[in-house]
Amino acid sequence: MSKEMDQLKEILAEVSDLNNASAVLGWDQQTYMPPRGAEARGQALGTLEKLAHEKFTSPEVGKLLDALEKQAASWDPDSDEARLVKVTRRGFNDATKVPSTMVIERAELTTMGNQAWQEARSKSEFSIFEPHLVKLVDWARRFAELFAPYDHVYDPVLDQFEPGMKAADVKAIFDEIRPKQVDLIKRISEAQQVDDSFLHQEFPEKQQWDFGVDVVTAFGYDWSQGRLDKTTHPFQTTLGVGDHRITTRVYPDFFNPYFFGTLHEAGHAMHAQGVSEDLKRTPLYDSPSLAIGESQSRMWENLVGRSKPFWEHYYPKLQKAFPDQLGKVDMETFYKGINKVAPSYIRVEADEATYNLHIMLRMELEMAMMEGEAEVHKLPVYWSELFEKYLGVTPPNDKEGVLQDVHWSFGLMGYFSTYALGNLVSAQLWEVIERDIPDISGKIRNAEFAPLLGWLNQHVHAPGAKFEPQEMVQRITGSKINGDAYLRYLETKFSDIYGL
């Protein structure tokens, strides 16, 4: 390859190294950092992110891209090199619009904001976090203005997580699936409710931890490239090639959060572990978008981990781990219990049928904040009103309401819609997997996960960020992101559980 490509890769490698150093500090911030370290941590992150930003947006990178784009006319458009030039150009054009001062400002705002959110959440007092969120929303609106003109002020922030998608695209998808999901939930509410009381009792932490570790190990999570730690809000992070960590939280009186949360984060990590190392230290060593990443976590959490074949294998093992709690609960009752459909306050604990409504609510609030229509100090009120509108329940306090998610403390406006899109993509991919691996249910029943992980590695993981999300989904499934497969999946699964 040309000297220009070598020079570009050298700069991109240094940017990657700086970003990985920031990720290490971010991981520590959410796991082990003492509270009084927040200010210094924000300053350190600001310095690292400023250096990475300035190196990436340097005139030298622009000149190298100009030269490489001329050379790329003769390359295979799907080659790693051609895609690297395309993806880097897109990132360069976006990043050059953002001044370094805003990069530093964001690092400091989010570090202090996250610390305030943790305190506010522990005390269930939104007022502690409110002044920080005001500043973060202001930053997001100023960021969006750097990309004007736009169709909607939400577009620039959404585009950071879902390249090529606009607010109108996501709203159209949500408007299509919402009434169908609401109808399904209504029919379920009229059926006999299933019992899940046995999930709400004492489950000793060590047994929970060990069981979850055994399962994600069987899935294929590579511990030589990862670790599992506790945090307030679970997440997965990549700190570099060969370092893909997951975090979780354990409730001693409820089985679901630790187990399904750990499967979820392991799904993210296995995705990251599967990206081709040929792409390392470049912008391609990543997921195409958060929706694609979320499709992997939701697939392992729900389509595998909440499936009947999975529990036909693992339920006897779970009963052995918790004989007093589950010894007298039969498998069918347990399976229905972990899939119970009912309005709930907490997004990460929501059932599959209502989950997307949690996301639609958050997107509506984000758009209103970006538009200036929703005043931050009134957010708990807006939250409660929308919760009643979408799910028919009202959260009892801020901790179980507006403060439950970590995302806004990190300034992640535009992020939430990717969760629902990931659900849709997971079902679209699953229909292709069932075609390509005809006995996938039997393999899951036998805890043979290698064929599934191998398929995902080949089709979804290895290409990294070479293709934009819509293009990747189109290539694999034959259509762009839509809700058809997900609605079919929900209808089939819950008709069986509830006898619809």
CA distances from 495 to 189, 196, 225, 339, 499 (A): 12, 18, 40, 12, 5
Among 49, 162, 265, 468, the active-site one is: 265
Find the largest Cα–Cα distance for the chain: 70
Alpha helix stretches (DSSP H) within 124-237: 126-145, 155-159, 167-189, 205-219
Residue 247 three-state SS: strand
Stretch (H or E) spanning 239: strand 236-240
Cβ–Cβ < 8 Å for 116, 128: yes
Q: Which of 338, 365, 363 is nearest to 196 (CA)?
A: 338
Residue 394: left if φ>0, alpha if ψ -120 to 50, beta else—which one? beta
Cβ–Cβ < 8 Å for 42, 306: no
Rounded to whole angstroms, the Cα distance separating 13 from 227 reads 24
Strand partners, 245: 237
Active site residue 14: no
The HSE-up count of residue 35 (CA atoms within 13 Å, CB side) is: 5
Stretch (H or E) spanning 204: none
Separation of CA 212 from chain center: 20
Tell me the residue type at 487. Answer: L
Rounded to whole angstroms, the Cα distance separating 162 from 233 reads 22
Rounded to whole angstroms, the Cα distance separating 149 from 14 reads 32
Place of tokens 């890769």: 9
Stretch (H or E) spanning 98: none
Rounded to whole angstroms, the Cα distance separating 374 from 214 reads 45
Residues annotated as catalytic (active site), given as ranges? 265
